[in-house]
Amino acid sequence: MRRLGYWVCEAVTNIRVNQTTTFIAIVTTAFTLACFGVFLLLYLNLRGAVSSLQDDIKVIVYLHDNLSAQGLADLQRRLGGEPEVADLTYVSKDKALADFRTQFPSEQSLLQGLGENPLPASFEVTLAPRYRSTDAVKRWTDRLKAVPGVAQVQYSRDWIDNLATMIGYVELASVAVGMLLAAASVTIIANTIRLTLYARREEIEIMRLIGATGAFIKIPYLLEGAVLGTLGAMLALALLKGGFEFMTLHLGLPSQVLGLAPKLGFFPFQVSVWLVLAGLLLGTVGSLLSLVRLERSRV
Amino acid sequence: MIQLFHVWKHYAKRPALSDITLQIEKGEFVLLMGPSGAGKTTLLKLLFCAERADDGQILIQGKNVARIKPSGVPYLRRTMGFVFQDFRLLQKKSVFDNVALPLLVQGLSSFDIRRKATEALKAVGLEHKKESRPAMLSAGEQQRACIARAIVNSPLILLADEPTGNMDPDLAAEIMDLFKTINARGTTLLIATHNRQVVEQVNRRVVTLAEGKLASDVGAGQ
């Protein structure tokens, strides 16, 4: 217990004595983690948005005008029995025309010259969750096109898939930037600890002479690195939260992204905890790097 | 207790110790004499594993120092005490904390640390200064604090490198008296010095080195 007290006391003393280098290490770690956090925030929100859009996806099955009432009933029964179909709504030609007039009141002139109602009847199909992937939808719609009575099948999948691909790139960029910035954080913390080690090299030598083991000497410096990393991560979270609130409240920038303002959010608590743990890990790794050099140089 | 057999140590191909063979029995008080550069400090460094011998064997309490792994060195050092000319006290810590440090390193309980550190400070007459920082002490007091740290874990061997190097004769005599008391309790002492007055005062076995070689080994009273 007394040893633990000694280690904590030594770590706190190191931080207090080297205030400037400690401050620089914390701020730099905070900025590097914040940069990574921006990518992570963007990635998580876009992924959430796409997932939400995928849930809303509908397939429109347009029907031939000459489809008989019996053919319509058969097709409705057949579609209703498909495992891909979660919900099915019939939109008659008249309903389609009424909807068009409601939605596009200024474009009525387009229909006037055509005489009879040119809009086809259709089924609006909501897909079952298991069949919402790009491949599943494509397979099903291709099969559907060959069914008698079906004129055309349409779904708004492409642009959502493009967005999903883009998110894949954001994910890659997040990992690349994250790794780069993590390396920067580790180096900065390693240098901070190295400065502390250099300043205290005589003390370390004395500790060795009185029989202190390597672990006993190193633990305060590992604690110091962990504390620096943790504080850096907490500051990064505060910066990100501040920036996020500022953007949503004052600039309204995220609301322009896909019109998804209500669905955008900050990191969930669990992700925030992981980010702090990542800071702790980076700090500890930075310390370890310095201490490995200490072991080699024997100061 | 300490045995050296044909020990050699070189620095930049120049021999710092040449073919040293020496035995020190348990409870002995040995003065290691010789001018600067004679190899006294090198010999002490070999004994507390700060350096490794190039050739020859060194046995401490029957253990071959050359065979001790780096991870085992701290445990060997815990059986010895060291006293340095420049004291090597931690300036940011109190005298008590400095003296308690070897016990803390060994993982003793708070109660035992307090008891043993207080005993060691009493033994060197420095109990009243236990809260002071080393910088607030005189040279003599700092050396006593260093001795207290060296004896706090009741070592079997105590090594000292020029412990009276920067002291006036009276202070040096006081410190040597302290060493005699420690030796009387059974601790084996090996003290490197070039101070002739110390030799006369202590009147114990004197091993003399000259240019890294064993020049003489004279017993007490001879």
Is residue A299 scored above 50 in pLDDT? no
- Is B105 within 8 Å of A2 when comparing Cβ atoms? no
- Identify the pLDDT of residue B36: 86
Structural domain for B163, as ranges: 27-50+70-218
Q: Nearest chain B Cα to A203, which residue? A: B90
Domain-embedded: residue B214: yes
A30 Cβ neighbours under 8 A, 6+ residues apart: A231, A232, A233, A235, A236, A239
Residue B209 domain flag: yes
Considering its fold, how many domains does chain B have in total?
A: 1
Do A197 and A290 contact (CB within 8 A), yes or no? Answer: yes
pLDDT digits over B209-220, tens only? 999 999 998 887
Write out pLDDT tens, residues B62-121.
Answer: 889 888 888 889 999 999 999 988 888 998 889 999 999 999 988 898 899 999 999 999
Return phi, psi of residue B205, to 5°. Answer: -60, 135
Q: Give how far A2 is from chain B: nearest CA, Å.
A: 6
Q: What mean pLDDT do residues A114-128 have? A: 83
CATH numbers and ranges of domains, chain A: 2-53+161-297 (no CATH), 58-155 (3.30.70.3040)
Q: Which of B75, B101, B110 sits opposite A210 (nearest CB)?
A: B101
* Residue of chain B nearest A295, judged by CA positions: B70
| Cβ(A86)–Cβ(A128) below 8 Å | yes
Element (H, E) at A20: helix A19-56
Distance from CA of B152 to the nearest CA of A (A): 11
Query: CB-based contact (8 Å) between B220 and chain A?
Result: no
> CB A4: neighbour CB atoms within 10 A?
10
Contact B109 A211 (CB under 8 A): no
The residues near B18 (Cβ < 8 Å, ≥ 6 apart) are B8, B211, B212, B213
For residues A141 and A153, give the distance between their C-alpha atoms in angstroms, rounded to a whole number: 6
What the block records as the tokens of B189 is 């002492």
| Residue B57 in domain | no
> pLDDT per residue over B152-184, tens digit each?
998 999 999 988 887 788 888 888 888 998 999
Q: Is B109 on the interface with A (CB under 8 A)?
A: yes
**Sign, CA torsion A287/A291/A297/A298:** positive
Residues of B in contact with A212 (CB under 8 A): 74, 105
Given CA atoms B88, B94, B96, B100 in this order, what sign does their dihedral have?
Answer: negative
Inter-chain contacts counted by CB atoms under 8 A, chains A and B: 46
Sign of torsion over alpha carbons A3, B70, B30, B134: negative
CB–CB contact B105 A212 (8 Å): yes
DSSP state of B85: T
Judge whether B49 and B209 are in contact, CB under 8 Å: no
Q: Do B77 and A206 touch (CB under 8 A)?
A: no
Cβ neighbours of A207 in B, within 8 Å: 101, 105
**B106/A211 Cβ within 8 A:** yes
Domain for residue B141, yes or no?
Answer: yes
Global pTM? Answer: 0.67
ipTM of the modeled complex: 0.84
Q: How confident is the model at residue B131 (pLDDT cuts 50, 70, 90)?
A: very high
Identify the CATH number of the domain in which residue B38 sits. Answer: 3.40.50.300
d(CA A99, CA A118): 13
Considering only CA atoms, give the Rg of chain A.
31
What is the separation of C-alpha A120 from the centre of its chain, rounded to a whole number of angstroms? 41
Pairing type for strands A58-63 and A150-155 reads antiparallel
Which residue do the tokens 């085992």 mark? Answer: B72
Hey, are the CB atoms on B50 and A206 less than 8 Å from each other?
no
- Residue B85 in any domain: the answer is yes
Nearest to residue A229, comparing CAs of A264, A169, A174, A189?
A189
Contacts B107 to A, Cβ<8 Å? 3
Q: Does B149 contact chain A (CB < 8 Å)?
A: yes
